[in-house]
Amino acid sequence: MPSKAPIGFCGLGAMGMGMATHLVKTGHQVKGFDLYRPSLQRFEAAGGTPSPSLLNSAVDMPFYIVMVATAVQAQSALFGTAEGGDEGIVHKLPQNAVLLLCSTVPASYAVSVERELKEIGRGDIFFIDSPVSGGAFRAADGTLSIMAGGATAALEKGMWLLEAMSAPKKLFVVEGGIGAGSNMKMAHQVLAAIQILVTGEAYGFAARLGLDAESVRKEIVEGEAWSWMVEDRGRRVIAGLDAWRPGVSALTIILKDTSIITSSARLCNFPVPMASAAEQVYFSGLSQGFGSEDDAGMVRLYYPGPVADVKCTVDKEAKAAKLKLVVNMLIGIYVCATAESIAFAQRVNLPLDQLHELAVDAAGGSHVFREVGAQMIKGLKGDASAWSGLGKRLEDVTQGLSEAASEAQNLKCPAFLTNTALSMLMLAKRTADKDASAATAVKVWKS
């Protein structure tokens, strides 16, 4: 590793601020830039060096990190907006600088950056496509999950910096060069996008069933319906409006990622019905003015009042039966989210075992992904034993989800993901044996 090499940094939002200040804490001189002046002031207070301009942040910086929100912002920051001008970072970086693009962008955009660097005569820059996952707290602790793709030489030069920002065993070098890191992030975000929304769907359904939110949370966190996202977002769903404004993770962030998934899927003619359904619901939330608020606030589309105000009045047996409906809803949706993520990963030539290793303990992780996802990968790799009789049965998962969908219909409760997942499971059942495992569902995406 270079001896405390100086680092340029662009994009001091929630994640970027954590990443940049962590590098400062480890002893690096970090010159950061952000258009939002209060962020620069916070960065300076944390020991960083605020840059007076974007271009100044790149001068004489042998290492540079871009952590802006979108591909459009990245393009402007990297190359500038003037035709043939020199208003972007890449025009000021020194020879043989290492450039990390940590933003979540389409793989096609990452590939276009590599191409444009060569076209403008900056092929000397060692470029790494390295989206991150883990949230602001893990960014500040230097324990992110990072998915990195690039040329061998670039990865070797930038490895120390990638390692400095990631947790042990959470740095995944993805074979395939530029674009592979972004594709891996998107395969993971299929899980995240669906499971963020299903939190609202599950808690809204539970409230209409007359279940108190704390009992629902306990059932989810301690049982087979656990997922990282539903546990995390469930806290803020229960906390209500005060936790949504401004919130921890704005709706527009996951909507951006979901739209990257659906647009990327269209480019490779691949179906993503679960992510597409989630995108439409997120659009609905956006149109109601929820864009800048925490994505946990999507529960409002399923239940009109605070779910924390619901008091359960039924006896123990009836309560258990209602909780089982919520659990069955979640498990059915998890199975389909798992199938969509893994099948998409295979479509874009990602190593499936690496996806499982990454996602199982990341934000997209769930008990279902750990168990059923492993079976799906086993089956897709040619082991036919994965399709029969192991673990959860397709018949049982479909029946449980069907019962939840029927009760949601009786209650006039929106159940967007529930009904999309049920349709996919019913399609899977048409060609499956009676005792087929739930892993068989992935075949629908492969047919």
Whether 168 and 266 map to the same domain: the answer is: no
Q: What 3 state SS string does the chain have?
A: CCCCCCEEEECCCHHHHHHHHHHHHCCCCEEEECCCHHHHHHHHHCCCEECCCCCHHHCCCCEEEECCCCHHHHHHHHHCCCCCCCCCHHHCCCCCCEEEECCCCCHHHHHHHHHHHHHCCCCCCEEEECCEECHHHHHHHCCEEEEEEECHHHHHHHHHHHHHHEEEEEEEECCCCCCHHHHHHHHHHHHHHHHHHHHHHHHHHHHHCCCCHHHHHHHHHHCCCCEHHHHHHHHHHHHCHHHCCCCCCEHHHHHHHHHHHHHHHHHCCCCCHHHHHHHHHHHHHHHCCCCCCEHHHHHHHCCCCCHHHCCCCCCHHHHHHHHHHHHHHHHHHHHHHHHHHHHHHHHCCCCHHHHHHHHHCCCCCEHHHHHHHHHHHHHHCCCHHHHECCCCEHHHHHHHHHHHHHHHHHCCCCCHHHHHHHHHHHHHHHCCCCCEEHHHHHHHHHC
Whether 88 and 36 map to the same domain: the answer is: yes
Whether 130 and 28 map to the same domain: the answer is: yes
Q: Is the pLDDT of residue 2 over 90?
A: no
Average pLDDT over residues 391-406: 97
Whether 168 and 153 map to the same domain: the answer is: yes
- Mind listing the pLDDT tens digit for each residue in 226-261? 999 999 999 999 999 999 998 889 999 999 999 999
- Mind listing the pLDDT tens digit for each residue in 46-98? 999 999 999 999 999 999 999 999 999 999 999 996 544 568 999 999 999 99
For residue 2, tell me if it sits in a domain.
no
pLDDT class for 446, splitting at 50, 70, 90? Answer: confident
Q: How many domains does the chain have?
A: 2
Whether 72 and 208 map to the same domain: the answer is: no
Q: Supply the CATH number for residue 361's domain.
A: 1.10.1040.10
Average pLDDT over residues 305-310: 97
Looking at 137, 162, 178, which one is the last position of a domain?
178
Q: What is the pTM of this model?
A: 0.94
Domain containing residue 370: 184-445
- Mind listing the pLDDT tens digit for each residue in 10-47? 999 989 999 999 999 999 999 999 999 999 999 999 99
Looking at 147, 178, 209, which one is the last position of a domain?
178
Whether 278 and 365 map to the same domain: the answer is: yes
Whether 171 and 191 map to the same domain: the answer is: no
Whether 278 and 423 map to the same domain: the answer is: yes
Whether 153 and 207 map to the same domain: the answer is: no
Whether 267 and 313 map to the same domain: the answer is: yes
Looking at 158, 178, 198, which one is the last position of a domain?
178
Average pLDDT over residues 145-157: 97
pLDDT for residue 84: 47
For residue 1, tell me if it sits in a domain.
no
pLDDT for residue 3: 60
pLDDT for residue 86: 64
For residue 191, tell me if it sits in a domain.
yes
Whether 302 and 172 map to the same domain: the answer is: no
pLDDT for residue 4: 80
Whether 406 and 369 map to the same domain: the answer is: yes
Task: Report the mean per-residue pLDDT for the chain.
Answer: 95
Q: Supply the CATH number for residue 89's domain.
A: 3.40.50.720
For residue 426, tell me if it sits in a domain.
yes
